[in-house]
């Protein structure tokens, strides 16, 4: 499993397949394994890179001096430099879209396509931000995600109708319960504060290339509802689509639909590049 050291910490990533490069950037509290269906489908045709956010999966702790999502974007660009990838199609879900859009704005020449999934580039609505920050404080104080907090946090990521006994649901719950106190305090909580304390990027969305951008959203996404996807797509001037029967982690709840959309998008973008 490859690692890349940036800002003094080891960033874990996978690099699979050959062809035009695709960078998969995932959700807060999930690691690169969340992209397993898309990696399996895309890697026979594309070079697929997926990274673990700091403190997630196999990556090291959040580096000192990483105060914002702009830093996460810079660190990801350093990974592309390390891998000698000049241009990439970036598929960013949730926080992956938040920092992915920042990378696209900071280095537009590096991005030949951008898919923003279940994400929002405005500020977090203040009541929600305060609520999430209160949860972070509880986790920081206790050094664990308690059973009571798991009952609150886990359902946020899925459509309301999901079976809570399903393997997807239970595996995610078990992963959160297993986080060590050090990892929670050093990386997970600070990464959450960076994510939900982000600055407003909506005024800059018109700078993104509408012709090579797509917005996707689970039709039952609770934390990032379809209204936000529509708002962003209108500001960018790009198409947007809903993923049927899916919540926040739409690429897993309806993997086939998302994979088909990505195949069509990648084919179109790489044809236009050629």
For 223-255, the pLDDT digits (tens) are 999 999 999 999 999 999 999 999 999 999 999
> Cα dihedral sign for 245, 251, 253, 259?
positive
Tell me what pLDDT residue 237 has. Answer: 98
Mean pLDDT over residues 72-79, rounded? 98
**Within a 10 A sphere around the Cβ of 219, how many other Cβ atoms?**
17
For 170-222, the pLDDT digits (tens) are 999 999 999 999 999 999 999 999 999 999 999 999 999 999 999 999 999 99
For 24-55, the pLDDT digits (tens) are 999 999 999 999 999 999 999 999 999 999 99
Tell me what pLDDT residue 54 has. Answer: 98
Tell me what pLDDT residue 208 has. Answer: 98
Please indicate, yes or no, whether the overall pTM of this predicted structure exceeds 0.95. Answer: yes
SS3 237: coil
Tell me what pLDDT residue 141 has. Answer: 98
Is the pLDDT reported for residue 100 higher than 70? yes
Q: What is the CA radius of gyration of the chain?
A: 17
Mean pLDDT over residues 82-102, rounded? 98
Quickly list H helices, 164-273: 167-177, 181-183, 189-196, 226-236, 250-253, 255-273
The rounded distance, in Å, linking the Cα atoms of 5 and 9 is 5
Do 187 and 221 meet the contact criterion of CB atoms below 8 Å apart?
A: no
In CATH terms, 3-123+197-273 corresponds, of 3.30.70.580, 3.40.50.1980, 1.20.1250.20, 3.40.50.1820, to: 3.40.50.1820
Tell me what pLDDT residue 257 has. Answer: 98
DSSP assigned state of 186: I
**How many residues would you count in the chain?**
274
For 248-260, the pLDDT digits (tens) are 999 999 999 999 9
Mean pLDDT rounded to a whole number for the chain = 97
Tell me what pLDDT residue 55 has. Answer: 98
SS3 202: helix
Q: Above pLDDT 70, what percent of the chain? A: 99
Q: What are residue 25's DSSP bridge partners?
A: 92
Mean pLDDT over residues 90-119, rounded? 98
Do 88 and 49 meet the contact criterion of CB atoms below 8 Å apart?
A: yes
Tokens 């600055």 belong to residue: 199
Closest alpha carbon to 13 in 42, 56, 44: 56
Do 207 and 95 meet the contact criterion of CB atoms below 8 Å apart?
A: no
142 Cβ contact partners less than 8 Å away, ≥ 6 residues apart = none
For 53-68, the pLDDT digits (tens) are 999 999 999 999 999 9
The rounded distance, in Å, linking the Cα atoms of 163 and 236 is 36
Tell me what pLDDT residue 190 has. Answer: 98
Instruction: Give the tokens for residue 205.
Output: 């969305």
Q: Above pLDDT 90, what percent of the chain? A: 96
Backbone angles phi, psi at 124, to 5 degrees: -70, 130
SS3 147: helix
Tell me what pLDDT residue 271 has. Answer: 76
Is the pLDDT reported for residue 270 higher than 80? no
Mean pLDDT over residues 75-96, rounded? 98
The rounded distance, in Å, linking the Cα atoms of 58 and 31 is 8
């Amino acid at each position: 499993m490859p690692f890349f050291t940036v800002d003094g910490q080891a960033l874990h990533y996978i690099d699979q397949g050959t062809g035009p490069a695709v960078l998969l950037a995932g959700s807060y509290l999930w690691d690169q394994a969340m992209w397993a269906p898309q990696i399996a489908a895309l890697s026979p045709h594309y070079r697929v890179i997926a990274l673990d956010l700091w403190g997630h999966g196999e990556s090291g702790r959040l580096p000192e001096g990483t105060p914002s999502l702009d830093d996460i974007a810079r660190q990801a660009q350093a990974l592309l430099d390390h891998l000698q990838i000049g241009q990439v199609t970036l598929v960013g879900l949730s926080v992956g879209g938040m920092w992915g859009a920042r990378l696209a704005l900071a280095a537009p020449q590096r991005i030949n396509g951008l898919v923003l999934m279940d994400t929002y580039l405005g500020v977090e609505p203040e009541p929600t931000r305060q609520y999430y920050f209160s949860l972070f404080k509880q986790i920081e104080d206790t050094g664990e995600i308690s059973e009571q907090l798991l009952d609150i946090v886990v359902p946020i990521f899925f459509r309301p109708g999901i079976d809570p006994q399903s393997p997807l649901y239970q595996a995610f719950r078990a992963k959160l319960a297993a986080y060590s106190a050090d990892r929670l305090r050093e990386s997970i909580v600070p990464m959450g504060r960076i994510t939900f304390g982000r600055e407003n990027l909506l005024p800059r969305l018109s700078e993104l290339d509408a012709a090579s951008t797509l917005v996707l959203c689970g039709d039952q996404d609770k934390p990032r509802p379809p209204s936000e996807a529509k708002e962003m797509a209108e500001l960018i001037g790009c198409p947007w689509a809903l993923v049927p029967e899916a919540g926040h982690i739409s690429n897993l709840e309806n993997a086939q639909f998302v994979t088909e959309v990505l195949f069509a998008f990648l084919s179109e973008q790489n044809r236009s590049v050629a």
